[in-house]
Structure 1
Amino acid sequence: MAPALVENAVNCNKEIVRLLANFSPSLWGDHFMKYASDTQLKQEYSKDIEVLKNEVGSMLKPSGSNIVDALNLIDILERLGVSYHLENEIEKKLEQLFNLNTNYEDETYDLYTVALHFRVFRQHGYRISSDIFSKFRDGDGKFQEGLKSDPRGWLSLYEAAHLRIHGEEILEDALTFATSNLKSMAQNLSSPLRKQVEHALVQPLHFNIPRLEARNFISIYEEFESKNETLLRFAKLDFNLLQILHKEELLEVSRWYTELDCANKFPYARDRLVECYFWAMGLYHEPQYSRARIILTKTFVFVSITDDTYDSYGTIEELDVLTEAIDRWDISQIDKLPDYAKLFYKDLLELYAQFEQELAKEGRSYAVYYAIEALKELAKGYNVEAKWFKEGYLPPFDEYLKNGLITSTFYYDTMTSLLGIESVTEEEFKLLSQKPKIVVANLKNCRLIDDIATYEIEKERGQIATGIECYMKDNGVTKEEAMNKFDEMVTNTWKDMNEECLMPFSNSREVLMRIIGLSRTTNVTYKNYEDGYTMPEKVLEPHIIALYMDSIKIPQML
């Protein structure tokens, strides 16, 4: 949150003092409202992509293909952002390759190859053992000295180590050694390997948003001596075609936002529509998720307004009434609300009524129930935090975290992220409503990262009940010690999530990837512990420009 300003408001002849956060205006103005889609260009891209898709698909078909070549191809397809075109073919290929019982002790499997295989299989849920790295350690259990001259191998190991689970000490050591070695050798490497290393040290692959990774890797892959021109052109065309779709969606949600008049109705709240869309795209960028992205963007907008209403604008008395109204979910409650909250409440109920009407057509109106129940829980959590803030109460850390997992918003976000996905069943919503291990790990991950990133700003505006302050008081430690502990807890949440994403899955992979997407987007948005949502110019601005404003230049075919 930004430093607070004080506003005096008169309500029923009684002066109310409101704290207003001094949020910066939207960076984007009406830029995305002006977009005009090029139908002819879309058709040309689509036609070329279909041809290239068939060519690339044929590369995956040979049943007797070398496992090294096959996994390299799959990795490149995924990093270029085009693997979704061949999802079924890739899954069949991986199952076939995993069942080969490959002997990784063979000398032909170097550090780069073993780490790549480990990472690709783990990314798809296969329980490949970390023991395959034992061959690279000496008698003292340290990684062999001779490996220090293998930067490509260390980079591969570094990326693989981020998929570790609890108890994999060999990967703990691997990450430490790989990070140290890569930092020391980065300046002496030639491009494109140097670019890969520098990028990975800032943003590990496993923690990155796939669309951002694709945008970056396309430019790096172009410099590879061994690049496949067919793959490169396929990736460029596909990126630009998807960008057109994303800009069309931004136009749609911008019109909705403008017609709803959010900026004028709720001037105290952050105007972050484009950033909300960026968050939605962090969970799914593929064309089949277009409806899901639009629905999720709209819910993000409303939860952001809700957050700012509770965080500073509303009084305790007003927020009690608003919380009860949300819990009752009945338009008859509107007369009890202050004027600004009446507008919000009416728009909120109408939005969910629209969702329910749309999903009822496919027999999925039950999904809206779970989203609404999650929102009710969130409002209650926000209300607790508002009272802590306004009453100057500093809770014990356990009490803070229990409520903070709710107000991280990510349980609600998980539920709403699934509204627009037709394949998600009621059973899966029921399972998620019990908050299984991966959901709790995700909530904790996002809560702790947010707490570190917003600590100084919240302290500046007089917020006492922050996670860092609660932990410092409970444990008698310094701010730095508390932040280091939070970092350690974040690392452990990733180990929990990595474990839950291994077969047999406790949830469908469709659901698991949405949860992982939330943590990845958090990692990107709060990079270097900056609040990139509230202040997008610090983190998100270049990402948004790269994804939605700058297309990739594609040379004409001769």
Structure 2
Amino acid sequence: MEFESLNVPIFTKEVDIDEIRRAIKYHPSVWGKYFLTYASTEISSAEEEELQRQKNMVRTMLAQTPDDSLQKLELIDVVQRLGSGYHFEEEIDKSLRYIHDTYLEYTSKDNDLRTTALRFRLLRQQGYPLSCDVFDKFLDGEGNFEESLVENVEGLLELYEAAHFGVHGEEILDKAMEFSSSKLKYLLPNMNCSLSTRVKAALETSIRKSLSRLGPKKFIPMYQHDKSCNEILLNFAKLDYNIVQKLHQKELSEITRWWRALDFANKLSFARDRVAECYFWIVEVYFEPRYHKARIMLTKILNMTSILDDIYDVYGTLDDLQVFTDLVQRWDANALEQVPAYLKICYEALSDVYIEMENEVKEIGELYRVQYAKEEMKKLVRAYLEETKWSYSKDTPTMEEYMKVAIVTATYMMLSTTSLVGMGNLVTKKDFDWVTSEPLLVIASSAVCRLTNDVVGYGFEQKRAAVHCYMNQYGVSKEEAVVEIRKLTKKAWKDMNQECLQPTPVSVPVLTRVVNLARIVHLFYDYADEYSNSKINIKDVIYDVLVEPL
């Protein structure tokens, strides 16, 4: 992600760019020492035993519910939305494989919109490349969705969710998105409380863009008040959420201790102090307990990337940054005397994180992973320098020139690669070769980050952004540029949907990291820069997800 700056005027020829850059001020951390208090948090053996007991009960429900029933579709959907799906991946995969193999048989008989859309979505989520022609039966003679469908709100809601899994060329799903969203908004005032709550939540964030922890935290209370609520599923989801939350609290305590020991709040006071925000970002990339080491590694890298971003964006001089970029390319601590103190502090801390990563993977003989991660960091720093040069230049790049660099400075190429380092035997060298080859999925995830970010950041930062480049190249207004850029974001999501369909070049756990990175962007940047200004909404979200139990 590119961490945009707040309250920064667009530069002019009359004002010295260094003065503008260094005039930027960020508010201090809103969390301070708060998470240090969780250092002694432990999960009791009684909690673990109870979790296993309830888990067996849910597993029994999954086994006893026939795969060819609507109840199985509903059960899988609820388990996944409650955040419990990671416990039953094999069972769910087996059931969905059967549902896929018998797909044509059942869809040809089924004329219920809700069932059709739910089955389609669950299978698309699993990567099955189904034809969207299954929705043709719900069209009228003119090729539009039948108006009588407005009487089926549950069906409209499922159609809306299914439409978010569309790929390029699926015109019927584009129509489904427009039809379902407009009808749901129109019907909303007349819905009962439980239904309207679910519809509002869906219109705000579709399942496709829902976050791994925030999504269940919002869904569980809604499910609890739904008439279809199953106490076994509900109780297991609550207990599991609370246990995993304790693990996250202890991890964040450890990371906070590391961060405070670096003392960047004093040594590099110009930079944003956002350790809790960075950890939350990475929790939404992978929350599962098995990714404990990977989470800590990636959070530390993300924190260091935030510091680098502020150095290149708002503090470092062009001369300093050219020398520093050179230093990072050589990865040579012996050349530190060439850079000023603030860059030396940053480099040493960055280098220490990679050394720590090497020590972690050395045990399993996978040192090559850290080298891939380093190369992506070098590429990122080179791109940061290119953007800095633009800030000092009077020239505005074309959109093509801009995006070539900005896709890299979105940081998701580097983060996608680094996210794999701590994933143990779930990844291989083949996965690193794929993720560093700039595949479409990674490019699209990076584009979502960059473009979403640039829309909310326009007018507040001194450097070039997509809106400004588009306006300059095509001679359009800001409003027109924003419309076109949002179209590019939608295109990127369709690219990601396509790349997640079978056959895929890498495993689902690898694909999921890249998609999850795109999802979190919408929380931080859809309406404002919630990373730089973390005092309002995002503070409450972090408290809800990482502090408040169910």
Matched, 1:515 2:511: no
Q: CA deviation at 1:364?
A: 1.1
Number of the residue aligned with 1:465: 464
Q: 1:180 aligns with which of 179, 182, 188?
A: 182
Which residue among 114, 123, 126 is the counterpart of 1:124?
A: 126
Q: Look up the SS of the partner of 1:26 in the other structure.
A: coil
> Which secondary structure does the structure 1 equivalent of 2:193 belong to?
coil
Q: CA deviation at 1:324?
A: 0.1
Amino acid at match of 1:339: A
Cα distance in 2, alignment partners of residues 194 and 17 from structure 1:
47
RMSD between aligned residues: 1.7
Equivalent residue, structure 1, for 2:94: 92
Q: What is the deviation of 1:538?
A: 4.1
Match runs of 1:182-201 below 5 Å: 182-201=184-203
Which of 421, 424, 427 matches 2:427?
424
Matching of residue 540 in structure 1 with residue 499 in structure 2: no
| Equivalent AA in structure 2 for residue 515 of structure 1 | V
> Partners in 2 of 1:37 and 1:124 — Cα distance?
38
Q: Distance in 2 between matches of 1:275 and 1:3?
A: 17
The one-letter code matched in structure 1 to 2:535 is E
Query: Secondary structure of 2:22's partner?
Result: strand
- Match of residue 474 from structure 1: 473
Contact 1:42 1:241 in 2 (8 A): no
Contact 2:160 2:177 in 1 (8 A): yes
1:150-169 maps to which residues of 2 (within 5 A)? Answer: 150-169=152-171
Distance 2:30 2:211 in 1: 21
| Residue 15 of structure 2: aligned partner | none
Match of 1:26 among 29, 35, 40: 29
**Alpha-carbon separation, structure 1, partners of 2:33 and 2:302:** 19
1:343-492 maps to which residues of 2 (within 5 A)?
343-422=345-424, 423-458=426-461, 463-492=462-491
Q: Distance in 2 between matches of 1:277 and 1:244?
A: 14
Deviates more, 1:313-322 or 1:538-547: 538-547
Mark the CA change 1:51 to 1:3 in structure 2 (over 3 Å): closer, same or farther. closer
1:203 partner letter: T
Residues 427 and 106 of structure 1, relative CA distance in 2, 3 Å threshold = closer
Letter in 1 for 2:542: I
| TM-fit CA distance, 1:257 | 0.6
In structure 1, how many angstroms separate the alpha carbons of the residues matched to 2:429 and 2:83?
A: 30
- Count of residues in correspondence between the two structures: 538
Q: Aligned letter for 2:152? A: D
Does the 8 Å contact 1:320/1:383 carry over to 2? yes
Q: Of residues 333, 336, 340 in structure 2, which corresponds to 1:334? A: 336
Could you say what secondary structure the match of 2:103 adopts?
coil
> What's the offset of the Cα at 1:527?
2.3
Please list the CA deviations of residues 194-216 of structure 1 after superposition, one character each: whole Å capped at 9, or x if unmatched: 10100111111111212111001
What amino acid sits opposite 2:507 in the alignment?
Answer: S
* Moved beyond 6 Å, runs of 4+: none
Structure 2 residue aligned with 1:11: none
Residue equivalent to 2:275: 273
Question: Identity across aligned pairs (percent)?
Answer: 39
CA distance in 2, matches of 1:102, 1:17: 62
- Closer, same or farther: CA 471–81 of 1 in aligned 2, 3 Å: same
CA displacement 1:274-294 (0-9 Å, x = unmatched): 010011011111110111111
Change (3 A) 1:339 1:36: closer
Letter of the structure 2 residue corresponding to residue 336 of structure 1 = Q
Residue pair 2:65, 2:71 contacting (<8 A) in 1 also? no
CA contact (8 A) 1:104 1:114 kept: no
State whether residues 392 and 465 of structure 1, in contact with CA within 8 Å, keep that contact through their aligned partners in structure 2.
no
Partner Cα distance (1:444, 1:171) in 2: 22
Between 1:147-156 and 1:383-392, the stretch displaced more is 383-392
8 Å Cα contact 2:298/2:419 also seen in 1: yes
In 1: Cα distance, 2:20 partner to 2:455 partner: 29
Residue 353 (structure 1) shift: 1.2
- 2:114–2:154 Cα contact (<8 Å) kept: yes
Gaps of 5+ in 2: 10-17
Relative to structure 1, the CA distance from residue 191 to residue 66 in structure 2 (aligned partners, 3 Å threshold; closer, same or farther) is farther
Q: Deviations over 1:69-93 (max 9, x none)?
A: 1111010000000111111111111
CA-CA distance at 1:114 after TM superposition: 0.8
Q: How does 1:58-77 map to 2 (within 5 A)?
A: 58-62=60-64, 64-77=66-79
Contact 1:208 1:523 in 2 (8 A): no
Contact preservation (8 Å) 1:116, 1:156: yes
C-alpha deviations, 1:24-64, integer Å up to 9, x for none? 1111121101125454x633322211111111101122484
SS across alignment from 1:477: coil
TM-score, normalised to structure 2, is 0.95
**C-alpha separation between the residues in 2 aligned to 1:392 and 1:506?**
43
| Cα displacement (A) at 1:112 | 0.9
Contact kept, 8 Å, 1:5 with 1:19, in 2: the verdict is no
CA separation of 1:361/1:50 partners in 2, compared to 1, >3 Å: closer, same or farther?
same
Alpha-carbon distance in 2 for matches of 1:260, 1:387: 29
Deviation at 1:172, TM superposition (A): 0.2
| Structure 1, unaligned runs of 5 or more | 7-14, 553-558
1:531 to 529, 532, 540: 529
Shift of 1:66: 3.4
**Which of 206, 209, 215 is 2:208 aligned to?**
206
| Distance in structure 2 (CA, Å) of the matches to 1:436 and 1:488 | 21
How far apart, in 1, do the equivalents of 2:67 and 2:8 lie?
65
Distance 2:57 2:197 in 1: 29
- Cα separation, 2, equivalents of 1:125 and 1:533: 32
Q: State whether structure 2 residue 314 is matched by structure 1 residue 312.
A: yes
Inter-CA distance 42–189: structure 2 relative to 1 (3 Å threshold): farther
Find the aligned partners of 2:160 and 2:143 in 1 and give their Cα distance: 18
Q: Give, in whole Å, the separation in 2 of the partners of 1:211 and 1:330.
A: 39
- Matched residue type, 1:230: I
Q: How many angstroms apart in 2 are the aligned matches of 1:3 and 1:139?
A: 52
Conserved in 2, the CA contact under 8 Å of 1:394 and 1:464? no
Mapped partners of 1:403, 1:75: distance in 2: 39
Aligned-partner Cα distance in 1 for 2:65–2:84:
21
Cα 1:62–1:241, aligned 2, differ >3 Å: closer, same or farther?
Answer: same
Whether contact under 8 Å (1:148, 1:181) holds in the other structure is yes
Superposition deviation, residue 141 in structure 1: 0.7
Distance 1:532 1:367 in 2: 32
State whether residues 124 and 165 of structure 2, in contact with CA within 8 Å, keep that contact through their aligned partners in structure 1: yes
Structure 2 partner of 1:52 = 54
Q: 1 CA distance for matches of 2:219 and 2:40?
A: 26
Counterpart position of 1:12:
none
Distance 1:391 1:290, change over 3 A: same
Deviations 1:101-122 (A, max 9, x none): 3435556541111111111111
Per the alignment, do residues 37 and 323 of structure 1 end up closer, same or farther by CA in structure 2, a change over 3 Å counting? Answer: same
Moved more, 22-31 or 295-304: 22-31
The amino acid of 1:201's aligned partner reads L
Asked if the contact 1:4–1:19 (Cα under 8 Å) also holds between the matched residues in 2, the reply is no
Deviating more after overlay: 92-101 vs 71-80: 92-101
